[in-house]
Structure 1
Amino acid sequence: MAGESQPRSRWLYVSIVLIVILITQTGVFLYALIDFQREIEELQTEQESDFASLTRSIDRLRSDLDQLQQLNGLVPSSGVTPVLIYDLSKDSVVLITAKQQQTFGGLVPVSSGSGFVYDQEGHIVTNNHVVEDADAIEVTFPDGTIAQAVLVGTDPYSDLAVIRVDSPSELLYPLPLGRSSDLLVGESVMAIGNPFGLSNSMSLGIVSQLGRDLDAPGNYKIVDVIQVDAAINPGNSGGPLMNMHGEVVGVNTAIIQGSVGVGFAIPSDTVSREVTQLIQTGRYLHPWIGISSVDLDPDIAGAMGLSFTKGTLVVDVVAGSPAEVAGIKAGTRPVTISGRTFRIGGDIIVGVDGITVRKLTDMIVYIERTKKPGDTVTFTIIRASEPLNVDLTLGVRPQP
């Protein structure tokens, strides 16, 4: 009996050890399972938090986009209103009176217009035709202060001028210049000025079209002009055209007589390009080619036996001009087409520096925007039905 109790005790010990091991393994397994479940829950929580954060970021981006669209004038803005923009800019717009010396009576007012403060040094931007031929220039600020101005620089070819007043800084509130090249047709704009002498008047409208041109001295063209339907009247000339950011995007300059809602403004990009040179030297040097041309149309193309109607036909080349030096050929055979008499047979310009030229203004816009006197451009021309590249070094346009 004693011999049997010893194996029985040994098996009992082994059973206890196995049970302890089983319990221990079960505990470890349960702990690992609980820990695994906890990690899964934490991961799910993190994912939910990341998803919520991403959702909030998307919502913020959508909100920012909506605000940007509103500020760009694409939809009405509840924050930047014409009332606010007028309030911020009204002290920057001045009345300009041009006077001439009369034989009897001294200095007499002959015209009036508008202008806006450009910098704290007292420079004011306006139209050339507002101050042209003036013997004295008078500036009236919105608070009634009157100051005498001196003519700093003029550009008849762009109808721009800069005058200067010696006035205290508390009267000078410069307006920021925007980028007229960012304008869109249909975008809201405001014209501020002094129509018929009615000080600080504002009219609201939209951009009707871009890239118009107006006549300039010497049969040249003012290009890149902005067409608007905001009311522009005599006295508005030289005043700012504002966008919904409160930036100047144009200088109001002209209307079509007898029209309603057809006004024009010189683009702010032209102002930005010229104003420093006008202040420093008194004039702006435009790049010059030295040709006159007519744009191709079906009648001209038919008379010349052409199969295309894009391009501008060189009619005349100015003697000694960059065009003559480069070898550009003028027309040789007089014809009358649609009531116009000119010479055909000259070079047809169809491109410049790889840019397609459909008409003369395409070429002028490209050169005015990107080139200066002394720069070289490459014209693509059609001569005797063959394409040809011609390099031309731009000169300085003669003064009118």
Structure 2
Amino acid sequence: MVKGAKILGFMFNAQKVVSPVSWSFEPGIPDRHIPETWVTLMLGTHKDLTNGRGGGREPYISLWDDEGRRLGQHWVENYKYIPDNNELDKHVYKIQHLQNRDPSRTTRYVMISQFKMDDICLAAVQVSNGKESTVWHGDLGEYCGVKWFLSERSLPGKPDLKPKCVWLSTEKGAARSISWHTNDMLGTPSKLEQYKKDQKKYLCESTPRFGWWFNLGPSATPPFYRPPLKYAFDKEAKQEGGMISPTDTFDIKLNYFDKDVAWMYNPAGTWDKMAETENLKLGKRSQYPEPESPEVQQSEASNSTERRDIKRRGFNKDPSHLIITEAEGHEASLVCNSSSSYGWDVASRREGKYCDMTVRKLYDLCDSIHKSNCFDLERKVLVGHGGISARGEVSALGVPKKAYDSTAHWK
């Protein structure tokens, strides 16, 4: 049997219902159970959107077992970037279990943190030690309200599956860290049937299962299930199935988790939702020094010009860049109708729509029917209420001016 053939993750269909996905990246799975964890990162953005410098700075990666004991960490080298290509073998991080007395333990909790000034947009993360392999997809982050955008990249070998990507960013309102319980990412039939009973509660309001954080540092710890959850066996998938006591995982029974909490570590596993940065020295620390926070590296919107620029851009990462796409699942209405999308202007040929991401406003593409208040794909401008004159003059009445320096074509 192929190494990763049994992996089942999950994404969301067009109706926002969880759907199983069978996919794995084989070079990111060890041939046998080993005392380390291989973490494969799949990014959603590409070279044109990162100024040719790669997919952004490498993130911090922290690992724990099911008891909440740290196994190991990937600590960032200064100025090292993730390659901007889609060659996933260059995105595999092999993390030795050097922080646990039993290095053979399996990773069950992962936290990925971006505390450098470069943004990254994660579309999928595979986690494996050769014994157990799971995949987290960015669709879950989008569903739970993390800042997100469409992904140009599909799962290798699955051209029709393009997971959303979620931003790890220092910008206000974006997640700097995300954490999840790895085996809860398995998309086995009985597990998904449990989730479908109340998807928001199971997937977004059970924070140890999946959480996102504005300030949580890589040497802090996310919340864990205490005691560890127990699961039934899924006979159909021949893997771990649904939880034996599923409703015990809801946040209302566990605690309330403050997404603004920063740098705190509490070995007892109980959280203080009022914790601030002065909690830095609580409990046992990592063997690594804490990274500088973005505020130390460079103050966010440190002057009035930067603040005005952020306000001008709105929900648009770069108003001078346009994405023209023909792919199913890249409809412009998806980003325009979302309250958590963040990215670039999108023109969808398939849908016949254009989204101005600065204000998340949807327009028709100009055609024989729509001749005004529409987006002209050939000229790459918004056409106002006056339409286009016989001399080819474009009306700007009632629409913002658009000027693009670069265009990406997604298939």
> TM-score with structure 2 length normalisation?
0.23
* Rg comparison, structure with higher value: 1
> TM-score with structure 1 length normalisation?
0.24
Q: Which has the higher strand share?
A: 1
